[in-house]
Structure 1
Amino acid sequence: MSLLQVKEVTHSYGSRTFFNWKDHSKTVLSDISFSIEDGTCLGLLGSSGAGKSTLGKVILGLERPQNGQILFQGHDIYTTDKPIRQKIRRNLQAVFQDSYSSVNPRMTAERIIAEPLENYEKLTAAEQKRTIVELLERVGLSEKDLKKYPHQFSGGQLQRINIARAISLKPKLIVLDEAVSSLDMVNQALILTLLNELKADFGLSYLFITHDIKAAYEISDTLGVLEKGELVELYQSKHQFFTSEHPVAKEMRSSILPEHPRFRKHGDRAHLR
């Protein structure tokens, strides 16, 4: 049984005028189906407006689709009973694009990471602090960062805190919604390395939602391409993306620029070296 199964998901938003709702709606997801296995990462590629973030919200249980199912460990996240839903919420975490808007600016790093632990674990104060320090160290920060507030961290450092919070309960799956796109290239590389290490160490699974082909290639085992709300291609190996003749895949590949200009007339694979 797959860890996550997305089955024939369709979702629409209603359109409205200034005064009232119109009769028609805009379909943002159309008949989406895929699965994620334990310990793997599916990279979901798509341009702005493709429906990537909406799909992430549907999978996280934040936005119920009009049709289809989201099955997590065999349970429909929208229809299962409350005890199972609580277990799913523990095992299904997220890291979003904007590291600053993802946290309460009035909370210290310690309080930010403590939130899920307080909701799901029964730890003494000493145990909780020790756990938080271990999590900070695991993501490359230290005990001296416990009492700092979000504005005292760089974007890359704060994203590490968001990752520490996400892994605090040892979840099965983390949805990473453009989690590195707002970072500079150095911090992107550091966060991707960290995510790969955590995946290997804890057996995590990821849904890596992005428009960045290089980032997706770095972290993903399989790749999917979302275009105008449709999953137009699904590759069981990320390398298949670079031989695909699908027009959307070819257009995406053509947009990749290598770091050094002397490589820019070479083949698609050279762009990722």
Structure 2
Amino acid sequence: MSLLQVKEVTHSYGSRTFLNWKGRPKKVLSDISLAIEEGTCLGMLGTSGAGKSTLGKVILGMERPQNGKILFQGHDIYTADKHTRQKIRRDIQAVFQDSYSSVNPRMTAERIIAEPLENYEKLTIAELKRTIVELLERVGLSEEDLKKYPHQFSGGQLQRINIARAISLKPKLIVLDESVSSLDMVNQTLILELLKELKEDFGLSYFFITHDIKAAYTISDTVGVLEKGELVEHFDSKEEFFTSEHPVVKEMRGSILAEHPRFRSIRTRVSQT
């Protein structure tokens, strides 16, 4: 049995006027089916507005779809009993794009990481602090960072704190919603390497939402392509993606910039032929 199964999920939003909702609902997900196995990463590629983040929210239990099911270890996350839903909330965590808006600016790094532990674990004060220090060190920070506030960290450092918080409860699945896209190239590379290490060390599974092909293939075992709310392709290898004749995939490949700026005009001319 797969860790997570998305079965024929369809979701829509209503159109809004100044005062109220009216008009035909806008379909943002259409008959989506996919699965994530334990210890694997499914990358989900798509342009802005493709429905990637909405799919992430549906998987996280934040937006109930109009049709279809989300099964986590065989349990429907929207209809399971209270005890099961509580366990699922513990086992599915998230790291979002904006590291600053994901935290309370008035809380120290220690308090940010402590919050889920205090909600789910019964630890002494000494055990709690020791666990938090271990988590900080595991993501490349130190005990000296405990009392710092979000504004005292760089974007990459704060994202490490968000990752530490996400892994604190030893979840089975983490939804990564554009979690490196707001970082510079150096920090993107470092965070992606950290995520790969954590995946191996803790046996984590990821649902990695991104528009960046290179980032997707850095940590993903398989990759799906979402376009206008539809899952148009699914690839088990990088080679399959780069040889696909699907027009959406070909357009994505054509938009990849060369590594060095001097070659980018060449890449553009080649992609247009």
The answer for the alignment partner of 2:30 in structure 1 is: 30
Secondary structure, counterpart of 1:21 in structure 2:
coil
1:112 equivalenced with 2:112 (yes/no): yes
Say yes or no: does 1:99 pair with 2:77.
Answer: no
Question: Given residue 98 of structure 2, which amino acid in structure 1 is its aligned partner?
Answer: D
The equivalences for 1:40-59 within 5 A come to 40-59=40-59
Q: Could you tell me how far 1:217 is from its partner in structure 2?
A: 1.1
Structure 1 residue matching 2:5: 3-state secondary structure: strand
Q: TM-score, normalised by structure 1?
A: 0.95
- Alpha-carbon contact 2:92-2:171 (below 8 Å) kept: yes
Aligned length: 268
Relative to structure 1, the CA distance from residue 190 to residue 162 in structure 2 (aligned partners, 3 Å threshold; closer, same or farther) is same
Structure 2 residue matching 1:15: 3-state secondary structure: coil
Letter in 1 for 2:4: L
Alpha-carbon deviation of 1:18? 2.3
Q: Which residue of 2 aligns with 1:205?
A: 205
What CA distance in whole angstroms lies between the structure 2 residues aligned with 1:69 and 1:28?
16
Distance in 1 between residues matched to 2:257 and 2:23, nearest whole Å: 44
Match of 1:167 in 2: 167
Offset, 1:117: 0.4
What are the within-5 Å matches in structure 2 for residues 1-273 of structure 1?
Answer: 1-261=1-261, 264=264
* CA distance in structure 2 between the aligned counterparts of 1:21 and 1:187, rounded to whole angstroms: 41
Q: How far off its partner does 1:6 sit?
A: 0.4
- 2:258 and 2:267 in contact (8 A); partners too: no
Code of the residue aligned with 1:150 in structure 2: it is P
Kept after mapping to 2: 8 A contact 1:220/1:238: no
Post-superposition CA distance 1:26-81 (Å, at most 9, x none): 00000000000000000000000001111100000000000000000110000000
Deviation of residue 130 (structure 1)? 0.3
Matches of 1:89 and 1:138 in 2, distance apart?
23
User: 5+ unaligned residues in a row in structure 1: which ranges?
Assistant: 269-273
* Contact 2:257–2:267 under 8 Å retained in 1: no
Show CA shifts across 1:242-271 (max 9, x none).
Answer: 111100000000101122246558889xxx
- Whole-Å separation in 2 of the counterparts to 1:258 and 1:72: 39
TM norm structure 2: 0.95
Structure 1 counterpart SS, 2:99: coil
Work out the CA distance in 2 between the residues paired with 1:237 and 1:266. 26
Distance 1:266 1:140 in 2: 39
Asked if the contact 2:139–2:160 (Cα under 8 Å) also holds between the matched residues in 1, the reply is yes
SS of 2:15 mapped into structure 1? strand
**Take 1:212 and 1:198, find their aligned partners in 2: how far apart are those partners?**
21
Q: CA deviation at 1:4?
A: 0.5
Gaps of 5+ in 2: 269-273
Separation (CA, whole Å) in 2 of partners of 1:201 and 1:64: 32
Q: Would the aligned equivalents of 1:38 and 1:203 in 2 still touch at CA under 8 Å? A: yes
Q: Is the 8 A contact 1:221 1:238 kept in 2?
A: no
Give the RMSD, CA atoms, in angstroms: 1.4
Write the distance in 1 (CA, Å) between the matches of 2:63 and 2:91: 18
What corresponds to 1:271 in structure 2?
A: none
Deviation at 1:16, TM superposition (A): 2.6
Q: Per the alignment, in what secondary structure is the counterpart of residue 252 of structure 1?
A: helix
Q: Percent identity?
A: 85
What secondary structure does 2:53 align onto? helix
